[in-house]
Amino acid sequence: MTDATARPRRRRTPEDWADAALGLIAEGGLAAVTVDALAARVGTTKGSLYHHFAGREALLDAALARWEDRTTTAVLRDVRDAAFDPAAMLRLLIVRVVATAEQDPVGLALLASAHHPAVAPVLERVTDTRLAAVTGLFTELGFAPDEARSRALLAYSAFLGHGQLAHSTPGVLPHAKEDRRAYLDQVVRLLSAR
């Protein structure tokens, strides 16, 4: 193949680098995100990283923002756009976050690095946003503010536990479609029971 017929290499975008960082976090935690590992993952030189970011910390910030958007902002937006009734929104949110927990090894890895200066504020913001959204749904369902907050905290704790189980011992969770539906219906019933 000559230079004239060679396919031009696609320029790497900041999103490519952020996704590579998230992949490395999922596989080996925050410590796995090195400039060399990132360049190898993206398939280009380290200089490309510095073309888009001031350094590793700036890239981490971009990757964490991307994770936050995918696992929190977009999920909440999709739920609000898909349902108007608070009970339907709660059920849809539970279904979506359970699926997210099962497919998101990044969240678990970030919890292991919760005290890192780049991670701590993101986890705090994500947790606050998620709890506020679920508290709002329970309030719309007619629960008093303190009770709505308690139920939201219970729901969020269950979400975190579900994520742990999905990655550590997935065999304990229901997998058949009917069993899964019954399980999620029970979760909604228990959380919203008066």
Which candidate, 76, 71, 78, places its Cα nearest to that of 160?
71
- Pick the closest to residue 64 from 153, 142, 126, 128 (CA basis): 126
Asked whether residue 146 is domain-assigned, the answer is yes
160 located within any domain: yes
Global pTM reads: 0.89
Asked, for residue 157, whether it belongs to a domain, the answer is yes
pLDDT in tens, 73-109: 999 999 999 978 999 999 999 999 998 888 899 999 9
17 located within any domain: no
Q: Quote the domain boundaries for residue 161.
A: 61-192
Give the DSSP letter of residue 54: S
The token pair at 146 is 């303190």
Measured CA to CA in angstroms, residue 168 lies from 105, 146, 172, 175 at distances of 11, 33, 10, 15
Q: Which residue reads 């508290």 in tokens?
A: 135
- Structurally, the chain folds into a number of domains equal to 1
| pLDDT attached to residue 86 | 93
Domain membership of residue 16 (yes or no) is no
- Residue 84: what pLDDT? 82
Does the structure show a pLDDT above 90 at 169? Answer: yes
CATH number of the domain encompassing residue 82: 1.10.357.10
Checking if the pLDDT of 8 tops 80, the result is no
Q: Tell me what percent of the residues of the chain surpass a pLDDT of 90.
A: 82
Mean pLDDT of 40-67: 93
- Specify burial of residue 115 (Cβ count, 10 A radius: 0-12, 13-18, 19+): exposed
If you search the block for the tokens 């996704």, which residue do you land on? 19
| Residue 86 lies inside a defined structural domain of this protein | yes
Furthest C-alpha separation in the chain: 73
Structural domain includes residue 24: no
| 19 within some domain | no
Q: Residue 9's pLDDT is what?
A: 62
pLDDT of residue 15: 94
